[in-house]
């Protein structure tokens, strides 16, 4: 079969991922909205928790971890959408630009989320006592 015939295979042309559920069926605008929400939540997280991790009890740690997971999910869904969309047409500059934007915003958010540094500075005994609480089984 000639190479051009293989590329024209209608089954191949029709194969595509349905990525829209990752961004509430709103395409690139959904990506932007998720990144904006993640940035707002990260800012609020920093205002509320930065410098306080050493004073956490198990309830505060569970609350903070749940919020971090929510922020991470938003960025992850936006990133997955952009990455998979780009992978289907790497020559499309708009798809590349979206992927780059998501990557830059994710890096920016990571710098605002200080939590891992503060957590790592806790003494092991205190960290273990916090993690022993059943609210942190997740």
The number of residues in the chain equals 138
Q: Which residue's structure tokens are 């503060």?
A: 118
The pLDDT-based confidence of 13 (bands split at 50, 70, 90) is low
Rounded Cα distance between 78 and 91, Å, is: 20
pLDDT tens digits for 22-64?
A: 999 999 999 999 999 999 999 999 999 999 999 999 999 999 9
Residue 15 pLDDT more than 90? no
Domain boundaries, the chain: 30-136
Burial class (CB in 10 A: 0-12, 13-18, 19+), 4: exposed
pLDDT surpasses 80 at 2: no
CA distance 79 to 99: 7
- State mean pLDDT over 125-129: 94
Nearest to 103 by CA among 82, 120, 118: 82
* The model's pTM: 0.82
pLDDT tens, residue by residue, 86-124: 998 999 999 999 999 999 999 999 888 889 899 999 999
3-state secondary structure of 138: coil
| Distance in angstroms (rounded) separating the CA atoms of residues 13 and 95 | 18
């Amino acid at each position: 079969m000639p190479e051009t015939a293989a590329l024209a295979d209608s089954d191949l042309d029709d194969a595509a991922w349905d990525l829209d559920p990752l961004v509430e069926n709103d395409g690139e605008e959904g990506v932007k909205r998720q990144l904006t929400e993640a940035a707002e939540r990260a800012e609020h997280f920093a205002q509320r928790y930065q410098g306080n991790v050493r004073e956490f009890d198990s309830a505060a740690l569970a609350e903070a971890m749940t919020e971090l997971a929510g922020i991470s999910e938003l960025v992850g869904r936006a990133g997955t959408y952009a990455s998979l969309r780009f992978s289907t047409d790497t020559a499309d500059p708009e798809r590349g630009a979206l992927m780059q934007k998501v990557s830059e915003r994710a890096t920016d958010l990571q710098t605002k989320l200080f939590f891992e540094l503060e957590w790592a500075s806790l003494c092991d005994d205190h960290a273990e006592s916090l993690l022993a609480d059943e609210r942190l089984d997740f």
